[in-house]
C-alpha cells in the first residue's frame, strides 16, 4: 500500500515511493486513471508526478478519511485499467543556432558532439510529469553517458521549445526561462499553445523519442 | 463600464482560479485573500466566482463611464475615496457616470478587491479570467483600459435601484484585521526536518520578508534544519505549502504557486488562514500553530457558513431609502457581526 500524506486539508498525496522509477510511475498513472474513471464527487483535480499522485479535493464534499478509503478501494481492485502510453515523436534540431549549449555539453562530458546526439537520439523517454510552469515537461531517463551536473551559474534565458538536460533528466521547456541546465537542441513543436485546442498535446505517461531535423527545416 | 485611470503594480483580474490544469503545470491563480474576494462578490449578489480586480499596495483609480455601475470592495484596510470623499474600507457603492473611485494602501493589509455587479468581463483562458502575467494568461489591467461587466439578467429579488447613491459598509467579522496565530497542517515532508526545526516552526516568531509576490512569500526568522537532505524527487504543491529549500528559509506558496517542486514541504497553511498570511505586510510577525486535518476542515466549513449568510450592509452618511434598508437585511438583523468564531480567534 502507498503512503497517504497530508498536504493541508484540501490535498492528499498518495506516495508510492521516493525514487524515480518507471514501475512507481506506472502505479501513479494507474491510480490516476482509476480515479478519473470513478469520477469521485469532491475530487477537484489530480497531479501525477514521478512517484506520487496529488489529489486536490473540496473538503465541503469530501473529508480526508472518505477520500483515503475510496482510494484504497480503487488500489485493491484487480481489474485495473490497462495503461496504453501514446508514442510521440519530437523533432529536434542540434545545429546552430538551435543548439547553443551542445559544444559546452560535449566538452563537459568529454565526448564529441556527434556522439552526444547519437546517444540522446537512440533512447526512448517517458513523460514523467509536467511542473514548474505551463507545458514544462519532465522526461527520463537520460542515458548514463550523458548525465551531467547542473551549471555553476544559470545560462541566459532559453527560448520556448528548448530541450534541456541535467542529471538524468530531460526537459522540454514550453515557455522561455533562465536555467542552470544545458540546451542540447530546440524543437519547433509546442507542447503548450493557448491558440490550439486542446492546448496541451502530450499527456503524462507518453513515450517520447527525438528525431533530428536540419536547421533549414526548423519551422 | 469603468475606465482605469491609474493602476499600481500588481493589479490583476482574479476569479476563483484556473482549475483542472495543474497536471500540465498551469498554476491555479485566483485571489490572494479568497474570503475578502468572495465577500465583495456576495455583497453584490454576484456568483461567488465572478471576476474582480485584485488591487495591491500601489492602489488604483477608476472612473465610471456611460452608465451607473454598482460596485463593492473588500480586503485589507485600504483608503477608499469617491470623488475625494472618504469611504469605508469595505463597502457597496453605486458610481454615477463621471464619478471617480480611488484606493490607496491604508493602515493594514496587502490586497483589496473591487467587484462589479455581474463580474468583470475579462478574457477567459483555460476556463478562468484570472490574470497569470508570467505566461500571458488573462489581462493585466493598465491605465486607459475600459472594463465592462458581464451582462446579467435583472431579477425581481435585485436589492438595489441604480439611482441609490448611498454607501453601505460591508460589516463582516471575516474582514477584521487579525494578528492571530496561523494554523498549519504538518506534511507532506515534515519527516525531512529535525525535531528542533519542528519545535521552531511552532515555537518561534517569523515575519514576512520583502521578497514576496503572488507566487510566494519568503519568511524571515529561524532557519529550519533538514535531517535527510533537502533534495526530494519533485512532487505536487498545494496552495499554502511551506517549502524549505537548502538555506532553511520558509517559502509559503501563494496563489500563483508552481504546480510541483523538489524541496521538502514541512507543512501547509490551512485554507481558512491563507488570507491572513496574504494580508501580512513585510516585517509583520507570523506565528504558527499545529492543526489537524479535521480541525482545518471544520475551520473552513465555518467560514463557508458565515459567507453563505446574506452580507450585512450598514448605511453610511446620508440617509438611504427604506427599501434598501429592508433589502439589505438590516431590519431583520440576520447577521451577528459580533460573532468572531469563524476566524477562530
Burial class (CB in 10 A: 0-12, 13-18, 19+), A174: buried
> What dihedral angle (degrees, nearest 10) is formed by the CA atoms of B36, B40, B41, B43?
130
Contact A11, B271 (CB under 8 A): no
State whether B207 and B337 are in the same domain: no
**A50 with B235: Cβ contact below 8 A:** yes
For chain B, how many structural domains are there in total? Answer: 2
**B236 with A54: Cβ contact below 8 A:** yes
DSSP 8-state secondary structure symbol assigned to residue A107: H
State whether B269 and B133 are in the same domain: no
**B175-184: average pLDDT:** 95
Inform me whether the pLDDT recorded for B320 exceeds 70: no
**pLDDT at residue B328, as a whole number:** 45
**pLDDT at residue B297, as a whole number:** 98
DSSP H or E segment with residue B239: none
pLDDT tens-digit map of B230-242? 888 999 999 999 9
**DSSP alpha helices (H): ranges in B257-333?**
271-279, 293-307, 322-327
Contact A144, A171 (CB under 8 A): no
State whether B25 and B48 are in the same domain: yes
**B119-143: average pLDDT:** 95
**pLDDT at residue B236, as a whole number:** 96
A-chain residue closest to B21, CA distance: A45
- Exposure string for A68-99, b = 16+ CB within 10 A, e = fewer: eebbeebbeeeeeeeeeeeebebbbbbbeebb
- The domain defined by A3-76 folds into Gyrase A; domain 2 (3.30.1360)
Per-residue pLDDT band for B333 (boundaries 50, 70, 90) equals very low
pLDDT tens-digit map of B196-207? 999 999 999 999
Interface of A with B (CB under 8 A): 5-11, 13, 15, 18-20, 44-54, 56, 59-60, 63-64, 129-138, 174-175, 192, 194, 199-200, 204
Domain ranges of chain A: 3-76, 87-217
**pLDDT at residue B231, as a whole number:** 84
Per-residue pLDDT band for B118 (boundaries 50, 70, 90) equals very high
Question: For residue A155, what is its C-alpha cell?
Answer: 545560462
- Which residue reads 455581474 in cell numbers? B118
State whether B211 and B316 are in the same domain: no
**A192 with B24: Cβ contact below 8 A:** yes
**Least confident segment among A50-59, B85-94, B105-114, B328-337:** B328-337
* Residues of chain A contacting residue B271, judged by C-beta atoms under 8 Å apart: 8-10, 59
Q: What is the mean pLDDT of chain A?
A: 93
3-state secondary structure chain B: CEEEEEECCCCEEECCCCCCCHHHCCCCCCCCCHHHHHHHHHHCCCCCCCCEEEECCCCEEEEECCCCEEEEEEEEEEEEEECCEEECCCEEEEECCCCEEEEEEEEEEEEEEEEECCCECCCCECCECCCEHHHCECCCCCCCCEECECCCCCCCCCCCCCCCCCEEEEECHHHCCCCCCEEEEECCCHHHECHHHHHHHHHCCEEEEEEECCCEEEEECCCCCECCCCCCCCEECCCCEEECCCCCCCEEECCCCCCEECCCEEEEECHHHHHHHHHCCCCCEECEEECCHHHHHHHHHHHHHHHCCCCEEEEECCCCCHHHHHHCCCCCCCCCCCCCHHHCC
Contact B259, B155 (CB under 8 A): no
State whether B204 and B55 are in the same domain: no
* Residues of chain A contacting residue B24, judged by C-beta atoms under 8 Å apart: 130, 134-135, 192, 199-200
Cis, peptide link before residue B89, omega less than 30° from 0 = no
**Least confident segment among A89-98, A159-168, B280-289:** A159-168
Per-residue pLDDT band for B332 (boundaries 50, 70, 90) equals very low
pLDDT tens-digit map of A188-213? 999 888 899 889 989 999 999 999 99
State whether B194 and B50 are in the same domain: no
Domain A87-217: give its CATH architecture: Beta Barrel (2.40)
Q: Which residue has the higher pLDDT, B162 or B299?
A: B299
State whether B138 and B252 are in the same domain: no
**B15-29: average pLDDT:** 95
* Residues of chain A contacting residue B235, judged by C-beta atoms under 8 Å apart: 13, 15, 49-52, 54
List the CATH number of the domain containing B195: 2.40.100.10
Contact A57, A6 (CB under 8 A): no
Contact A186, A97 (CB under 8 A): no
Backbone CA torsion sign across B335, B317, B54, B218 = negative
- Helices and strands (H, E) in chain A, number of each type: 4, 13
DSSP H or E segment with residue A172: strand A169-172
User: Could you tell me what percent of chain B has a pLDDT over 90?
Assistant: 83
Contact A146, A123 (CB under 8 A): no
Per-residue pLDDT band for B329 (boundaries 50, 70, 90) equals very low
Tell me how close the Cα of A214 comes to any Cα of chain B, in angstroms. 29
Per-residue pLDDT band for B322 (boundaries 50, 70, 90) equals very low
**A5-17: average pLDDT:** 98
* Residues of chain B contacting residue A7, judged by C-beta atoms under 8 Å apart: 185, 187-188, 236-238, 241, 265, 268
**A52 with B22: Cβ contact below 8 A:** no
State whether B12 and B27 are in the same domain: yes
Most distant pair of Cα atoms in chain B: their distance: 66
Per-residue pLDDT band for A151 (boundaries 50, 70, 90) equals confident
Contact A12, A57 (CB under 8 A): yes
Inform me whether the pLDDT recorded for B336 exceeds 60: no
**Least confident segment among A59-63, A85-89, A151-155, B257-261:** A151-155
**Per-position DSSP letters for A184-203, written without gaps between them:** EEE-S--SB-TTSSSSB---
Q: What is the mean pLDDT of chain B?
A: 90
State whether B12 and B76 are in the same domain: yes
**B47-75: average pLDDT:** 96
User: Which has the closest alpha carbon to B1: B149, B175, B202?
Assistant: B149
State whether B228 and B99 are in the same domain: no
**B25 with A199: Cβ contact below 8 A:** no
Nearest by CB to residue A134, choosing from B135, B236, B239, is: B135
**pLDDT at residue B161, as a whole number:** 47
CA B231 remoteness from chain centre: 32
Inform me whether the pLDDT recorded for A155 exceeds 80: yes
* Owning domain of residue B86: 2-177+310-343
Inform me whether the pLDDT recorded for A179 exceeds 90: no
DSSP H or E segment with residue B228: none
State whether B163 and B215 are in the same domain: no
**A156-168: average pLDDT:** 90
User: Which has the closest alpha carbon to B249: B196, B208, B215, B203?
Assistant: B208
Inform me whether the pLDDT recorded for B343 exceeds 70: no
Amino acid at each position: 500500500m502507498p503512503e497517504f500524506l497530508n498536504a493541508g486539508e484540501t490535498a492528499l498525496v498518495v506516495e508510492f515511493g521516493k525514487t524515480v522509477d518507471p514501475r512507481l510511475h506506472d502505479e501513479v498513472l494507474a491510480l490516476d486513471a482509476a480515479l478519473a474513471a470513478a469520477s469521485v464527487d469532491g475530487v477537484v483535480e489530480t497531479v501525477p508526478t514521478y512517484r506520487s499522485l496529488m489529489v486536490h479535493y473540496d473538503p465541503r464534499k469530501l473529508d480526508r478519511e472518505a477520500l483515503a478509503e475510496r482510494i484504497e478501494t480503487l488500489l485493491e481492485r484487480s481489474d485495473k485499467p490497462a495503461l496504453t502510453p501514446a508514442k510521440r515523436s519530437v523533432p529536434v534540431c542540434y545545429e546552430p543556432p538551435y543548439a547553443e549549449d551542445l559544444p559546452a555539453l560535449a566538452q563537459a562530458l568529454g565526448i564529441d558532439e556527434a556522439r552526444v546526439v547519437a546517444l540522446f537520439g537512440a533512447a526512448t523517454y517517458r513523460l514523467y510529469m509536467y511542473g514548474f510552469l505551463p507545458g514544462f515537461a519532465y522526461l527520463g531517463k537520460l542515458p548514463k553517458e550523458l548525465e551531467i551536473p547542473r551549471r555553476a551559474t544559470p545560462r541566459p534565458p532559453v527560448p520556448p521549445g528548448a530541450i534541456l538536460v541535467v542529471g538524468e533528466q530531460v526537459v522540454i521547456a514550453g515557455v522561455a526561462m533562465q536555467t542552470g541546465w544545458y540546451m542540447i537542441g530546440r524543437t519547433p513543436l509546442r507542447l503548450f499553445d493557448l491558440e490550439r485546442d486542446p492546448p496541451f498535446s502530450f499527456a503524462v505517461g507518453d513515450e517520447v523519442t527525438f528525431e533530428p531535423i536540419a536547421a533549414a527545416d526548423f519551422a | 463600464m469603468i475606465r482605469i485611470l491609474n493602476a499600481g503594480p500588481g493589479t490583476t483580474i482574479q476569479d476563483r482560479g484556473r482549475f483542472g490544469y495543474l497536471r500540465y503545470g498551469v498554476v491555479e491563480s485566483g485571489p490572494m485573500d479568497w474570503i475578502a474576494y468572495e465577500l465583495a462578490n456576495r455583497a453584490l449578489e454576484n456568483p461567488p466566482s465572478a471576476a474582480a480586480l485584485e488591487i495591491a499596495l500601489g492602489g488604483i483609480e477608476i472612473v465610471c463611464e456611460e452608465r451607473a455601475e454598482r460596485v463593492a470592495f473588500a480586503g485589507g484596510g485600504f483608503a477608499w475615496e469617491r470623488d475625494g470623499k472618504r469611504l469605508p474600507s469595505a463597502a457597496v457603492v453605486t458610481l454615477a457616470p463621471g464619478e471617480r473611485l480611488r484606493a490607496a494602501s491604508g493602515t493594514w493589509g496587502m490586497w483589496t478587491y473591487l467587484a462589479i455587479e455581474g463580474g468583470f468581463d475579462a478574457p477567459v483562458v483555460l476556463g478562468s479570467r484570472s490574470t497569470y502575467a508570467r505566461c500571458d494568461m488573462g489581462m493585466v489591467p493598465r491605465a486607459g483600459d475600459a472594463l465592462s461587466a458581464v451582462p446579467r439578467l435583472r431579477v425581481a429579488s435585485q436589492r438595489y435601484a441604480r439611482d441609490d447613491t448611498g454607501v453601505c459598509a460591508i460589516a463582516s467579522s471575516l474582514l477584521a484585521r487579525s494578528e492571530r496565530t496561523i494554523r498549519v497542517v504538518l506534511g507532506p515532508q515534515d519527516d525531512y526536518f529535525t525535531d528542533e526545526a519542528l519545535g521552531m516552526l511552532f515555537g518561534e516568531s517569523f515575519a514576512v520578508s520583502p521578497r514576496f509576490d503572488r507566487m510566494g512569500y519568503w519568511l524571515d526568522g529561524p532557519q529550519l534544519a533538514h535531517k535527510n537532505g533537502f533534495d526530494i524527487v519533485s512532487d505536487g504543491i498545494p496552495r499554502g505549502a511551506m517549502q524549505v529549500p537548502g538555506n532553511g528559509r520558509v517559502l509559503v506558496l501563494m496563489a500563483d504557486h508552481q504546480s510541483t517542486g523538489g524541496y521538502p514541504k514541512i507543512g501547509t497553511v490551512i485554507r481558512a488562514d491563507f488570507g491572513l498570511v496574504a494580508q501580512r505586510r513585510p516585517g509583520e510577525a507570523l506565528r504558527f500553530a499545529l492543526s489537524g486535518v479535521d480541525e482545518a476542515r471544520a475551520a473552513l466549513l465555518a467560514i463557508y457558513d458565515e459567507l453563505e449568510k446574506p452580507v450585512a450592509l450598514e448605511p453610511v452618511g446620508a440617509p438611504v431609502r427604506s427599501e434598501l434598508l429592508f433589502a439589505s437585511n438590516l431590519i431583520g438583523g440576520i447577521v451577528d457581526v459580533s460573532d468572531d468564531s469563524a476566524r477562530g480567534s
